[in-house]
């Protein structure tokens, strides 16, 4: 889809994500998540997109780590996808909201067993004296939850970024890049171009 023809940012994103899935060697769904503390100190880290639809962009993580604390205190975030092989980038800015319990439970159950045990054992973003401590925690929860069933801990869930703004960027020769912005206007979207 040419940027001149784009009417729906979610349809355009889905097309670009499908292109990335075919071309990127690793994690085409990797995105940089930026949050900020209540006093405005920014922090950014890579997370994985797990769902994108007209409700927004979803990732999963601990709620009591740094990112979870910043989102709880300042429920706005920005995302950046960069697909080097395609020379494309998408930037998303908006408010955050929790996913439903059903969504979180469903995604958690789909994860590998060791990943589910790790969600229990990790005290995300806190100091770790030795890696052996993390491994001991995983072993402890492995004993606590024998078999395949590992329930989702309350401190682990999903966050949806509900966009107010989505920018699509394409690399062009001589740095005359192509930039198209969608901005939310009620239930619709307004579009405009940006200089490179």
What CATH number is attached to the domain comprising 161? 2.30.110.10
Q: Is residue 144 part of a domain?
A: no
Q: Is residue 150 part of a domain?
A: no
3 CB contacts (<8 Å, ≥6 apart)? 12, 168, 170, 178, 180
146-169 confidence digits (pLDDT tens):
988 999 999 999 999 999 999 999
CA distance 17 to 24: 10
Q: Is residue 162 part of a domain?
A: yes
pTM: 0.94
Split into its structural domains, the chain has a count of 1
Query: Is 131 noted as a catalytic residue in this protein?
Result: no
Q: Is residue 91 part of a domain?
A: yes
Q: In the predicted model, what is the mean pLDDT of residues 68-93?
A: 97
pLDDT of res. 98: 98
CA distance 129 to 21: 38
CA distance 10 to 137: 40
12-61 confidence digits (pLDDT tens):
999 999 999 999 989 999 999 999 998 999 999 999 999 999 999 999 99
| Angle formed at CA 168 by CA 164 and CA 170, multiple of 5 degrees | 165
E strand or H helix that includes residue 19: helix 9-23
- Find the catalytic residue in 111, 175, 184, 193: 175
Q: Is residue 125 part of a domain?
A: no
Q: Is residue 62 part of a domain?
A: yes
Q: Domain containing 96: what range?
A: 3-108+155-193
111-126 confidence digits (pLDDT tens):
999 999 999 999 888 8
Percentage of residues in the chain having pLDDT higher than 90: 91
Kindly report the average pLDDT of the chain as a whole number. Answer: 95
Q: Is the dihedral of CA 41, 74, 91, 185 positive or negative?
A: negative
Q: Is residue 122 part of a domain?
A: no
Q: Is residue 76 part of a domain?
A: yes
Percentage of residues in the chain having pLDDT higher than 70: 99
Q: Which of 4-8, 83-87, 175-179 has the lowest mean pLDDT?
A: 4-8
């Amino acid at each position: 889809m040419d940027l001149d023809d784009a009417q729906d940012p979610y349809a355009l994103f889905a097309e670009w994500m499908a292109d990335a899935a075919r071309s990127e060697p690793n994690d085409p769904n990797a995105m940089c998540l930026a949050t900020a503390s209540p006093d405005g100190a920014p922090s950014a880290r890579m997370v994985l997109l797990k769902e994108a639809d007209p409700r927004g962009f979803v990732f999963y993580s601990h709620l009591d780590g740094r990112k979870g604390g910043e989102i709880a205190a300042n429920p706005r975030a920005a995302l950046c996808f960069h697909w080097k092989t395609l020379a494309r980038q998408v930037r998303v800015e908006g408010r955050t909201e929790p996913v439903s319990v059903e969504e979180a439970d469903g995604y958690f159950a789909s994860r590998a067993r060791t990943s589910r045990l790790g969600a229990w054992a990790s005290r995300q973003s806190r100091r770790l004296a030795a890696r052996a401590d993390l491994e001991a925690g995983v072993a402890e929860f492995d004993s606590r939850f024998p078999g395949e069933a590992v329930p989702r801990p309350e401190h682990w869930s999903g966050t949806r970024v509900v966009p107010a703004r989505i920018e699509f960027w394409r690399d062009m020769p001589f740095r005359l890049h192509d930039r198209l912005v969608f901005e939310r206007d009620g239930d619709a979207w307004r579009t405009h171009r940006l200089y490179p």
